[in-house]
Amino acid sequence: MEADNEIIARWSGSARFWDKHREIIRCMFGPVTEGIVKEARIGVGQSVLDIATGPGEPALSIVPLVGSDGKVFGIDPIPEMVAGARREAGRLGLKNVEFEVAFADQLPLAENSFDAVVSRFGVMFFPSPIGAMREILRVLKPGGRIVFAVWHYAARNPFHCALSRVVDRYLDPPVIEPDAPDTFRFAAPGKLLEIVKQAGATDARERLMQFKIEAPVSVEDYWTLRLEMSKLRDRISVLSQERMAELKREALKSIGEYSTGSGISMPAEVLIVSGAKGVS
């Protein structure tokens, strides 16, 4: 219960910003969605569950791939995130997608319901990844596939470190326990894979995916986007106006290294961890 409240406290404040920046986020993480779809072998007529969908991704991008005979379901514990996902589905006129408020380890869904269960940048935040994994396998059909995308190391991802390295020069970096819910909890190759195996998945695999995060935004807009999307916005709120202006100058210089003139382009690395539910 305490862990659930911590999740709600951490993510409630982010919902409006993830909704505000949804188009840019969809564009930046599009290659990750493609990687997930390929690994999960998603196709026409399938039923797909998206765990920790936030304001609706990758669920909304998967809807056209399953077609009108398929079905997509997204869950997230933050009511404001789910409201944003439902609004977007309505705006797009999508009929075969539903979103519900739920935690990954307490799914309000029948067993053996889905051909595939996916999650983009969610698993690292679950209080009990093994509990969530067992619950996910429960709702997966025998023979169905699970696919999770998690960040590789921060140093390999300027999306994170171009800004956090500058902030760390102004404020002590937070101390994070190795297994605490955090963005880089599963950065070490093999760590999430082991949990997937322990939960009982068959055919468990991991692959490193290298790609480019690209967004048609200015350096200044990227700075705003990254602050609003992350906990950095709370961290730097304690700085004086002068220190903040100094930090921003340095941050814009650091981000500027990835400016193409028409947008931002950064190398990026994620781990795609997958498995299946055995057919007995």
Site residues, ligand SAM (CB under 6 A): 7, 11, 25, 29, 51-54, 57, 76-78, 81, 103-104, 120-122, 125-126
C-alpha to C-alpha distance for 6 and 11, rounded to whole angstroms:
9
* Distance in Å, CB of 225 to ligand SAM, minimum: 13
Q: Is 252 helix (H, G, I), strand (E, B) or coil?
A: helix
Q: What is the 3-state secondary structure (H, E, C) of 169-196?
A: HHCCCCCCCCCCCCCCCCCCCCHHHHHH
* Distance in Å, CB of 242 to ligand SAM, minimum: 32
Q: State phi, psi for 39 to the nearest 5 degrees.
A: -65, -35
* Distance in Å, CB of 243 to ligand SAM, minimum: 28
Contact between 70 and 48 (Cβ < 8 Å) = yes
* Distance in Å, CB of 13 to ligand SAM, minimum: 11
Measured from each CB, the residue nearest to ligand SAM is 54
**Which CB, 7 or 66, lies closer to ligand SAM?**
7
**Which CB, 33 or 247, lies closer to ligand SAM?**
33
* Distance in Å, CB of 92 to ligand SAM, minimum: 16
**Which CB, 151 or 258, lies closer to ligand SAM?**
151
**Which CB, 47 or 183, lies closer to ligand SAM?**
183
**Which CB, 29 or 159, lies closer to ligand SAM?**
29
* Distance in Å, CB of 106 to ligand SAM, minimum: 9
**Would you say how long the chain is, in residues?**
280
C-alpha to C-alpha distance for 150 and 12, rounded to whole angstroms:
21
Contact between 39 and 272 (Cβ < 8 Å) = yes
C-alpha to C-alpha distance for 85 and 89, rounded to whole angstroms:
6
Cis status of the peptide bond prior to 178, with omega within 30 of 0: no
**Which CB, 120 or 235, lies closer to ligand SAM?**
120
Residue type, 100: E
DSSP string computed for 214-227: EES--HHHHHHHHH
* Distance in Å, CB of 276 to ligand SAM, minimum: 21
**Residue located via tokens 């100094």:** 246
Contact between 36 and 117 (Cβ < 8 Å) = no
C-alpha to C-alpha distance for 191 and 91, rounded to whole angstroms:
39
Cis status of the peptide bond prior to 77, with omega within 30 of 0: no
Closest CA to 183 of 226, 146, 223: 226
**Which CB, 63 or 81, lies closer to ligand SAM?**
81
* Distance in Å, CB of 56 to ligand SAM, minimum: 8
**Which CB, 40 or 78, lies closer to ligand SAM?**
78
